[in-house]
Amino acid sequence: MPEKLEILYASHADFVWRTLLRLGVTRHDVGDAVQDVFLVVHRQLGSFEGRAAFATWLFTICRTVATRRRRQYQRERENVTVDSTEDIIDLRADVGREVEHNQELQLLNLILDSLDAKQRNVFILFELEKMSGEEVSLALSIPIGTVYSRLQLARDAFRQALVRHESKERFAVRRAGGKL
């Protein structure tokens, strides 16, 4: 069984790791959370019916684990936010394009954080994890039509957040120029 779990881990660890981070698990806790997810996988693999892609099943586990972690943060009343992606990037193996990539990821996370949670889930699975609409529907247990409508709302919100960010950046540049 550990050998089979190892195969699953090898193939899906990245997905679980980034999904947990996107779902609000802190960088500090994500290691434990990944462990939690795969222990659940180990335990519940027999209940996986194979009707959905394995990743969609994994996502539902990630969502539960992340929810538990977030509740824990609330209980502990810690002012914990999703860490900067700097930690992620610092440890990335491929550091050749880190600066630009780092900035992009920081902005992406900033925008994702600003989205409604339901819309964000759809956006993450469809746009970032490249799941099909049907897979997203199964993962989130929502009708396919709802997937599409939430995706559209998420895209609109994403664009608005990006515009706001760019406006702030331009304003900041103008202010800096004025001071100079």
Binding residues for other proteins restricted to 137-176, rule: CB under 8 A: 144-145, 148, 151-152, 155, 158-159, 162
DSSP-derived letter for residue 143 is -
Say if residues 157 and 122 touch (Cβ distance below 8 Å). Answer: no
CB of 19 to other proteins, least distance (A): 9
Q: What CA–CA distances, in Å, run from 146 to 14, 27, 32, 43? A: 27, 31, 32, 31
Q: Which stretch binds other proteins (CB under 8 A): 1-9, 75-83, 114-122, 170-178?
A: 1-9
Per CB under 8 A, 86 contacts other proteins: no
Say if residues 123 and 137 touch (Cβ distance below 8 Å). Answer: no
CA quadruple 141, 143, 149, 152: dihedral sign: positive
Q: Is 89 exposed, middle or buried (0-12, 13-18, 19+ CB in 10 A)?
A: middle
Q: Which residue has the tokens 């540049």?
A: 173
How far is C-alpha 18 from the chain's CA centre? 5
- In the list 23, 24, 25, 36, the residue contacting other proteins (rule: CB under 8 A) is 36
Nearer to other proteins, 105 or 142 (CB): 105
- CB within 8 Å of 127: residues ≥ 6 apart: 151
Q: Which stretch binds other proteins (CB under 8 A): 75-83, 114-122, 125-133, 169-177?
A: 125-133
- In the list 23, 25, 61, 122, the residue contacting other proteins (rule: CB under 8 A) is 61
CB of 21 to other proteins, least distance (A): 8
Site map 39..58 versus other proteins, x via CB under 8 A: xx-xxxxxxxxx--xxx---
CB of 86 to other proteins, least distance (A): 12
- In the list 79, 91, 141, 179, the residue contacting other proteins (rule: CB under 8 A) is 91
Per CB under 8 A, 82 contacts other proteins: no
